[in-house]
């Protein structure tokens, strides 16, 4: 679980982001003005900041200059489409840059990717008697090693990173098998069944009717 600061002046967007973050198992705090950010950052030291560029009080690019020395990862959220703006944000030290509008699954995946790179997330995931050590590529069930194929492990990792969020079969194919995979979505079903059987996660890996799958984890 990570503490995430959301800085977004459009309240409906901020509320939606906050909901998705909490569904993913993180905590969230929301600010709507740029001139209130640094007091919060210095006082609470969040694990990651989702920072809009165009804010009342102070813009995101200006705020980034003060955040950078602190070493806190930042993902810019913006409607600015110009390449120059994206380059500016990354040159200022942002870890990622997401264009609005964006899908909830994309936001969650990018947050998890940044947190992994910055080693802010726990490296060990536990669910019941299942323990997943991502850095060591080890999965234990009741203390006993479970042999997973590379694809099965990657699929499990994606489900963990997007826990409590429904992923379509097509999105799972894209994230696990890659953009250029030419096979059918049936491949996802087969691998899901194998994970359920090997790990005893029949009650946790839910089928979302006519959509895909979701890993349910108690909050």
DSSP reduced 3-state for 191: helix
Could you give phi then psi for residue 210, rounded to 5 degrees?
A: 55, 25
| Domain annotation for the chain: domains and CATH numbers | 3-117 (3.40.50.2300), 124-215 (1.10.10.10)
Mean pLDDT (whole number) for 160-183? 81
Kindly report, residue by residue over 39-80, the tens digit of the pLDDT.
999 888 899 999 999 999 999 999 998 898 787 899 999 876
Residue in 127, 136, 104 with CA at minimum distance from that of residue 204 = 127
Q: Which neighbouring-strand residues pair with 168?
A: 212
Kindly report, residue by residue over 121-171, the tens digit of the pLDDT.
456 788 999 999 887 889 999 999 999 999 999 999 989 888 888 889 988
CB burial of 30-68 (b: ≥16 within 10 Å; e: otherwise) equals bbbebeebeeebeeeebbbbbbbbebeebebbebbeebe
Give the ranges where the chain is alpha helix by DSSP (H). 11-23, 37-44, 60-67, 83-91, 104-117, 150-161, 169-172, 186-199
């Amino acid at each position: 679980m990570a503490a995430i600061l959301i800085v977004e002046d459009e309240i409906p967007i901020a509320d939606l982001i906050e909901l998705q973050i909490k569904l993913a198992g993180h905590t969230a705090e929301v600010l709507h003005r740029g001139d209130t950010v640094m007091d919060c950052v210095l006082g609470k030291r969040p694990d990651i900041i989702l920072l809009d560029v165009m804010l009342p009080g102070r813009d995101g690019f200006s705020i980034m200059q003060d955040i950078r020395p602190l070493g806190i990862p930042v993902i810019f959220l913006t409607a600015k489409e110009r390449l120059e703006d994206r380059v500016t944000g990354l040159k200022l030290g942002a870890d990622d840059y997401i264009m609005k509008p964006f899908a909830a699954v994309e936001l969650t995946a990018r947050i998890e990717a940044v947190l992994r790179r910055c080693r802010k997330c726990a490296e060990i995931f536990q669910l019941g008697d299942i323990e997943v050590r991502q850095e060591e590529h080890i999965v234990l069930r009741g203390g006993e090693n479970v042999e997973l194929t590379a694809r099965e492990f990657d699929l499990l990792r994606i489900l963990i990173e997007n826990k409590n969020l429904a992923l379509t079969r097509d999105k799972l194919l894209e994230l696990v098998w890659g953009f250029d995979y030419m096979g059918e979505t049936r491949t996802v079903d087969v691998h899901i069944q194998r994970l359920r059987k090997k790990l005893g996660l029949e009650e946790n890996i839910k089928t979302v009717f006519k959509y895909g799958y979701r890993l349910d984890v108690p909050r």
